[in-house]
Amino acid sequence: MNDRITRLAIGVLLAIGVFASASLPAAAQSQGVCDAIVALKAGDNADAWALLNTQPASLEPNAAFLRAKMLEYALGVPHDAQTAIAEMTDAANRGVVEAQARLGLWYEIGTVGETAIARAYDQSKYWVGIAANNGHADSMKNYAIHLEGGLVGPGEATGTPDLDAAITWYTMGAKRGSIAALRNLGRVMLQVGNQRAALILLHQAARINDGLAHWLLATYYDAIPDTNTLADNAVHVAAYYHYSMAERLIDDPSYKQQAQTLRAAIGINDAVVEQVMPFQHNRLHKPVYLIERANKPWDAIAEAEGCN
């Protein structure tokens, strides 16, 4: 099984950047929706809102999705969570994959913009499952998390995880560009004992500046027992480097504090990193640029509408 999963991991790496982000159902081009997207990107929210509420564009499911997003974030209109939910549900029911994914998120975290709503895990699982099956990369990752936690699938009644299915969905999400799916796939590989595949995947996610991938690599290297050999120095340097990157990239203050404390406990400094891992040392002192999500809502809708 480990060889099969290792081949699968390498296949994921080859596919990164080849597969497009989650696509939406094809729709007839609406110049009104396309013009609204241009206006949104330019910050002309009032014009965008007017265009999205003018027929025939106003009747399109993608227009409903865009109105919901504007209501969520109060873009040129007052924030209105209930109307946003109604618009998003309408768009989701009419096949807008970004809307399906968004509903899954809203019902899981219990917020729409600045408004708290009742969490509805059944609704969340329902919409995440639909969006995942429709090719939404982040929803594939979320569906894999549900499988891993025994929240869906054959083990749902007893809460039994389905790791094989989770691996499959993490793999599909990673192929479609979800960095979190790539990282979680590496984490599961560690969990099932396939260190080779895990390190391939986690290093790939770390190269894309995923802070949690750096954290997992740091804790992996830090846990390797000392043997008083020359190789120990490289292991310690690797742990130090990945703790440093995790501290820079993760927003959560508790992670930052832990990374800082554990890095200090290793007992080396940047000069040692420079000697043993010069390329990594250079990264410690360069600005960090986070890669943005490939399937931004505006761009995904523009693609579905066939906007130029």
| Interval 99-134: pLDDT, tens | 999 999 999 999 999 999 999 999 999 999 999 999
First to last CA, the chain: 46
The three-class DSSP label of residue 170 is helix
Report which of 24, 31, 19, 21 is spatially closest to residue 308, judged by C-alpha positions. 31
DSSP string, 190-237: HHTT-HHHHHHHHHHHHHTT-HHHHHHHHHHHHTSPP-SSHHHHHHHH
Q: Report, as ranges of residue numbers, the positions in the chain whose pLDDT lies below 50.
A: 10, 12-29, 230-231, 290-295
Q: Of 202, 144, 180, nearest to 291 (Cα)? A: 180
Provide the 3-class DSSP secondary structure of residue 96.
coil
Tokens representing 127 are: 């919409």
What's the whole-model pTM score? 0.81
Q: What is the pLDDT of residue 261?
A: 94
- Give the pLDDT of residue 177: 92
Cα 178 from Cα 140, distance rounded (Å): 9
Residue 72 CB partners (closer than 8 Å, separation 6+): 79, 81, 84, 112, 113
Residue 32, sorted as left (phi over 0), alpha (psi -120 to 50) or beta, turns out to be: alpha
Query: What CATH topology corresponds to 2-203+292-305?
Result: 1.25.40
Question: What residues pair up with 116 in beta bridges, in sequence order?
Answer: 111
- Residue 143 half-sphere exposure toward CB, CA atoms < 13 A: 29
pLDDT attached to residue 17 = 39
What stretch(es) of the chain map to CATH 1.25.40.10?
Answer: 2-203+292-305
Q: What pLDDT is attached to residue 296? A: 61
CA distances from 70 to 43, 55, 77, 103, 173 (A): 11, 18, 7, 15, 27
pLDDT, position 282: 61
Contact indicator for 135, 176 with CB cutoff of 8 Å: yes
Q: Residue 250 carries which DSSP code? A: -
Rounded CA separation 52/250 (Å): 37
- pLDDT for 13 equals 45
Measured at the CA of 176, the angle between CA 4 and CA 286, to 5 degrees, comes to 100
Do residues 57 and 88 lie in contact, with contact meaning Cβ atoms separated by under 8 Å? no
Distance separating alpha carbons of residues 107 and 126, to the nearest angstrom: 10
Is the backbone peptide bond immediately before 161 cis, with ω within 30 degrees of 0?
A: no
Q: What pLDDT does residue 4 have? A: 53
Q: How far apart are CA 263 and CA 241, in angstroms?
A: 8
Rg over CA atoms, the chain: 22
Question: What 8-state DSSP symbol labels residue 178?
Answer: -
CA–CA separation, 140 vs 148, rounded Å? 12
Q: Is 151 helix (H, G, I), strand (E, B) or coil?
A: coil
pLDDT of residue 295: 40
Per-residue model confidence (pLDDT) at position 274: 74
